Amino acid sequence: MSSGLEFDQEPLRAFLANEFGGQGAGFSLERISGGQSNPTFFLNYGHRHMVLRKKPPGPILPGAHAIEREYRVLSALYPTNVPVPRPILLHEDASLIGTPFYLMERVDGRVFSDCALPELSADERRPIYMAMAETLGKLHAIRPEETGLADYGKPGNYFERQIGRWTRQWRESPSERIDAIDRLADWLPLNLPDEDGAVAVAHGDFRLGNLLFHPTEPRVVAILDWELSTLGHPLADLGFCVMPWHTAPHEYGGILGLDLAALGIPQEAEFVARYYANAIPTPSVSRFHIAFALFRFAVIFIGIADRARAGNAAAENAGLVAPLAARFAERALEVIAGRVECTPFDRTCRLG
């Protein structure tokens, strides 16, 4: 078995030779650092430069790490104006490398993990944020029934179902109890917005670190990591995407408390307005949507910590994210308490 890999490369090399021909010249496999869920690798075979994504080894929850769904949504969106990598093949037989996997084309570009964008100048930062808002708007403008995704999830009652799902995951976790998460789990179902029937392809983890930008231009060339995608309410994605304005730099790279004007980073209201300029009209984002996003990410952090204890987390620093669960839940309670005021008429949010 190769160093740094949890599977033998040789069966994969033989599989690629059968699929693409050749004798494996130029074959190489390199694990990509970062990411907390599905192990991801750069794969070269001859002139082909690809990315391999697979399920993690070991026991996983039913329905989790659904790389088959990732491949399906990539295949559906690739012909549209939503930037995604070109899907190449899906291999569902776990016997080859220990789990199912898929291959997609490798896209050249830049990934930014810190929302303060320290590697860029002030003049470069605003266009990056606006490109992110425009890309999310384009995704939500896609009609699922027109792309073969009408059955990609259950339409309607999205937030009710999601709150139930993440609450169950939290209550079934062996992690130490966190009072702030329990309080959110009680508050959210009592403050559900009215059902408005809005349905979109929801990415589920739409944030700066899951976007690939053009090597030199402020343009998104690929949306990555579709594991949590489904049919959902577009404001779930938008509430999630604006979390950096509500979390501090030491809390997963947020921008709360920074001098945004000096940095050249747009205010949250400007970002949201750019989103709405590109998306199909939906109701206004509210404190419920932001609190829900923070709650959901808090439970995701709990799941990462649980996998780390079990020894099958994808990222080396997975065990370090456990304290973030409490911090994100506390930030959500701040939003609920009125630290953030969302105005329903101009679709903007401002600090109270």
Helix H, strand E, coil C: the string for the chain is CCCCCCCCHHHHHHHHHHHHCCCCCCCEEEECCCCCCCCEEEEEECCEEEEEEECCCCCCCCCCCCHHHHHHHHHHHCCCCCCCCCEEEEECCCCCCCCCEEEEECCCCECCCCCCCCCCCHHHHHHHHHHHHHHHHHHHHCCHHHCCCCCCCCCCCHHHHHHHHHHHHHHHCCCCCCHHHHHHHHHHHHCCCCCCCCCEEECCCCCHHHEEECCCCCCEEEECCCCCCEEECHHHHHHHHCHHHHCCCCCCCCCCCCCHHHHCCCCHHHHHHHHHHHCCCCCCCCHHHHHHHHHHHHHHHHHHHHHHHHCCCCCCCHHHHHHHHHHHHHHHHHHHHHHEEEECCCCEEEEC
- Last residue in a domain, options 78, 105, 132: 105
Measured CA to CA, the distance from residue 16 to residue 22 in angstroms comes to: 9
What are the tens digits of pLDDT across the range 170-226? Answer: 999 998 999 999 999 999 999 999 988 899 999 999 999 999 999 999 999 999 999
Clarify whether residues 327 and 236 are in a common domain.
yes
pLDDT at 243: 95
Residue 205 maps to which CATH number? 3.90.1200.10
Does residue 2 lie in a domain region? no
Clarify whether residues 79 and 135 are in a common domain.
no
Does residue 235 lie in a domain region? yes
Tokens 């939003």 label which residue?
335
pLDDT at 343: 37
Clarify whether residues 49 and 196 are in a common domain.
no
Clarify whether residues 156 and 202 are in a common domain.
yes
Tokens 């402020």 label which residue?
218
Does residue 15 lie in a domain region? yes
Question: Please, are residues 241 and 101 in contact by the beta-carbon 8 Å criterion?
Answer: no
- Last residue in a domain, options 73, 105, 137: 105
pLDDT at 283: 82
Q: What token pair was written down for 341?
A: 């005021």
Does residue 3 lie in a domain region? no
- Last residue in a domain, options 105, 140, 161: 105
Measured CA to CA, the distance from residue 233 to residue 161 in angstroms comes to: 11
pLDDT at 4: 58
pLDDT at 145: 95
Does residue 1 lie in a domain region? no
Say how many residues make up the chain: 352
Clarify whether residues 139 and 89 are in a common domain.
no
Could you list the pLDDT tens digit for every one of the 352 residues in the chain? Answer: 344 577 889 999 999 999 998 766 789 999 986 555 788 999 999 999 999 999 887 766 656 678 999 999 999 999 999 999 999 999 999 999 999 999 999 999 999 989 999 999 999 999 999 999 999 999 999 999 999 999 999 888 899 999 999 999 999 999 899 999 999 999 999 999 998 889 999 999 999 999 999 999 999 999 999 988 999 999 999 999 999 999 999 998 899 999 999 999 999 999 999 999 999 877 889 999 999 999 999 998 998 888 777 776 555 555 567 789 999 999 999 999 975 444 332 333 333 3
Clarify whether residues 84 and 126 are in a common domain.
no
Clarify whether residues 86 and 132 are in a common domain.
no
Characterize 113-140 residue by residue with b for buried, 16 or more Cβ atoms within 10 angstroms of its Cβ, and e for exposed.
eebbbeebeeeebbbbbbbbbbbbbbbb
Q: Rounded to the nearest 10 degrees, what angle do helices 158-172 and 234-241 cross at?
A: 60
Clarify whether residues 30 and 170 are in a common domain.
no
Measured CA to CA, the distance from residue 141 to residue 333 in angstroms comes to: 31
In total, how many domains does the chain have? 2
The phi and psi torsions of 77 (rounded to 5 degrees) equal -90, -20
Measured CA to CA, the distance from residue 196 to residue 178 in angstroms comes to: 32
Does residue 81 lie in a domain region? yes
Tokens 């012909």 label which residue?
79
Clarify whether residues 180 and 223 are in a common domain.
yes
Clarify whether residues 158 and 229 are in a common domain.
yes
pLDDT at 115: 96
pLDDT at 26: 84
Clarify whether residues 93 and 142 are in a common domain.
no
Amino acid at 279: A
Does residue 234 lie in a domain region? yes
Tokens 């990410």 label which residue?
297
- Number of other CB atoms surrounding residue 221 within 10 Å: 19
- pTM, entire model: 0.87
pLDDT at 62: 59
Residue 100 maps to which CATH number? 3.30.200.20
pLDDT at 314: 55
Clarify whether residues 99 and 35 are in a common domain.
yes
Domain that holds residue 41: 9-105
Q: What does R_g of the chain's alpha carbons equal in angstroms?
A: 20
Distances (CA, A) of 4 to 14, 41, 237, 314, 316: 20, 11, 34, 12, 11
